[in-house]
Amino acid sequence: MTGRVTATRGNLPVELTSFIGRRRQVQDVKSALTAARLVTLVGPGGVGKTRLALRSATDLRRGIPDGVWLVELGSLQDAELVTKAVITSLGLRDELSRWPVSRLIEYVASKRLLLVLDNCEHLLDACAVLADALLREAPWLRILATSRQPLGVAGETVVQVGPLSVPDVDGRVAPDRIAETEAVALLLERAREAGAAFEVTWTTRPPWSSWPAVWTASPWRSSSRLCDFAPSAWTSWSNVSTTASVCS
Ligand SMILES: Nc1ncnc2c1ncn2[C@@H]1O[C@H](COP(=O)(O)OP(=O)(O)O)[C@@H](O)[C@H]1O
Ligand SMILES: [Mg+2]
């Protein structure tokens, strides 16, 4: 992701691909953040925690005067550097990179801002300690974290993130409605973005337990079948774009 939003304060990236579904969960996350000052989106890798966090935070940013600040921790290896990562993400690197945590607390104490701590799982303890310290001292601060496990901090609200909706496991969804399920909509969208248009063309409505259902390419690629998907593939959305490009 490259673009940065400039109209409001913060450093949230502009979404470069369409966001599919999850309307209710976006509302749930936003509501949770009005009631709790630490909300952690928890779920397996690739399920969509980061996208859900970014979409929810983007929706909220106009009501947050000191901005929404994303701290990407996925590539950070050293737990000692979590505080520095927050300082850097707040855009304070030049003046303040040597601030100890107490000075960071002092900085955020009077601010009304939302920190998005993304991908905390491998730095769980460091994230928990920092979140706890910041929340205790900064009364208007809110934190939205994503992690495979909860941070375990007092006052934390955990929102479990599951897979996008999939067609009924018994195959009861009518073929002409199947593209309305979130998982299939995402696959079709990514296939379109990859330059290939596809349609669902199964004739017999097989139960999901006996996939493959048949996905065929649009007429200009009519000889190539997109892919045969096992139902389990629908639970990991990091696979979708890869699968679409590999199979198209
Ligand atoms: N609701 C969604 N709409 C569109 N793309 C999504 C959605 N959820 C996840 N993705 C895509 O799936 C991939 C994995 O999602 P991500 O949020 O990074 O998962 P996680 O943070 O749980 O590991 C990313 O490419 C992301 O853009
Ligand atoms: Mg993530």
pLDDT in tens, 58-80: 999 999 999 999 999 999 998 88
Residues flanking ligand 1, CB < 6 Å: 17, 19-22, 43, 45-51, 146, 186, 237-238, 241
CA of 223 to the centre of ligand 2 (A): 36
User: Which ligand is in closest contact with the Cα of 49?
Assistant: 1
User: 181 in a domain, yes or no?
Assistant: yes
Handedness of CA 205, 208, 213, 215 (dihedral sign): positive
Looking at the fold, whether 44 and 155 belong to one and the same domain comes out as: yes
Asked if residue 55 lies in contact with residue 15, where contact means CB atoms within 8 angstroms, the answer is: yes
Atom 24 of ligand 1, nearest CA residue: 238
Looking at the fold, whether 65 and 144 belong to one and the same domain comes out as: yes
Residue that is last in its domain, among 160, 190, 223: 160
Looking at the fold, whether 115 and 36 belong to one and the same domain comes out as: yes
The phi, psi pair for 171, rounded to 5°, reads 75, 25
Given this model, what pLDDT does residue 130 score? 96
Closest ligand 1 atom to Cα of 53:
17
The residue to which tokens 């470069």 are assigned: 16
Looking at the fold, whether 132 and 237 belong to one and the same domain comes out as: no
Under-70 pLDDT residues of the chain: 1-8, 93-99, 167-178, 195-248
Number of structural domains found in the chain: 2
Looking at the fold, whether 109 and 201 belong to one and the same domain comes out as: no
User: 12 in a domain, yes or no?
Assistant: no
Given this model, what pLDDT does residue 10 score? 93
Looking at the fold, whether 30 and 132 belong to one and the same domain comes out as: yes
CA of 94 to the centre of ligand 1 (A): 32
Looking at the fold, whether 75 and 132 belong to one and the same domain comes out as: yes
SS3 for 117?
strand
Looking at the fold, whether 84 and 180 belong to one and the same domain comes out as: no
Looking at the fold, whether 141 and 43 belong to one and the same domain comes out as: yes
Looking at the fold, whether 44 and 154 belong to one and the same domain comes out as: yes
Count CB neighbours of 230 within 10 A: 10
What predicted TM-score, i.e. pTM, was given to this entire model? 0.80
Assign residue 55 the CATH number of its domain. Answer: 3.40.50.300
Dist. CA 71–CA 57, nearest whole Å: 12
Looking at the fold, whether 179 and 156 belong to one and the same domain comes out as: no
Domain that holds residue 130: 23-160
Which residue among 41, 50, 118, 245 has the greatest number of ligand 1 atoms within 8 angstroms of its CB, and so is best to mutate?
A: 50
